[in-house]
Amino acid sequence: MGKKIIIFFITAVWLAGFAFSKPGQTGSIHGVVKTPEGESLPGVIVLLKSPALILPEIEDLTNAAGMYRFKDLAPGVYELTFILAGFQKIVKKGIKVSSGTTVSFNIDHTLRASDVILIVEAKEPIKQYPIDF
């Protein structure tokens, strides 16, 4: 008798989880970061910001294929920032995520113009003379 009550209780809790779960209440954002020539860019820092987030921002890195993904996002408006040394910082605002949807957002990352001037100076080389004994 006690075994039946335990099985009944476990089954009831399990079914209640399905009854009260809210499938499709979140969305996601994913995409690929490439160069204008079509080469994938691994290691790009992708920052996600929104008032809909619990944290101020979420960070991801693109994988070897240049792909990134943010899952289980609350509906709202998001901002994506893409950062990679030697490339322009790209900020995209107003990305709308709805319940049960996936937003695909691909980026072409371009090299930034260098703002560093490198000056190389060299002195005259030291002359070496052979010494004969």
φ and ψ of 132, to 5 deg: -110, 130
pLDDT at 115: 59
Q: Distance between CA 40 and CA 36 in Å, rounded?
A: 10
pTM: 0.67
pLDDT at 114: 58
Domain boundaries, the chain: 25-108
Question: Quick one: 25-108 is in which CATH superfamily?
Answer: Immunoglobulins (2.60.40.10)
- Using CA atoms, how far residue 110 sits from 38, 113, 132, in Å, is 11, 9, 60
Angle at the Cα of 76 from the Cα atoms of 53 and 104, rounded to 5 degrees: 100
pLDDT at 78: 96
Sequence-separated (6 or more) residues with CB below 8 Å from residue 86: 111, 112
